[in-house]
Amino acid sequence: MSTVLKNFDTWKKFLGERVKHAENAGFSGEAIANLAYEIGGFLEDKVDPQNDSNRTLKELWDVGDESERKAIARLMVKLAKKNA
């Protein structure tokens, strides 16, 4: 996992593949966005950003309230799907 976190393009592709798997498994877009929000909370607490792009996302996450964090999660899902 640490290798995936070091390169933002690799991270987007990794996430995109997971989003596609979730969609194929029947998860709704809302369910995927909710999972992305929960994962964002986990990453905030447990993972030190490995590159400037991830650090920027963490800083945005840190200053956002719950609704803004949910918007970031939804946008990351869209970005990931685009890069799958």
With 0.75 as the threshold, say if the pTM is over it. Answer: yes
Q: What is the mean pLDDT of residues 5-15?
A: 79
* Cβ neighbours of 29 (radius 10 Å): 14
User: Which of the residue ranges 7-16, 50-59, 64-73 has the most confident prediction, judged by mean pLDDT?
Assistant: 64-73
Tokens of 10: 């690799």
Q: What's the DSSP call for residue 47?
A: -
> Using CA atoms, how far apart are residues 31 and 58, in angstroms rounded to an integer?
22
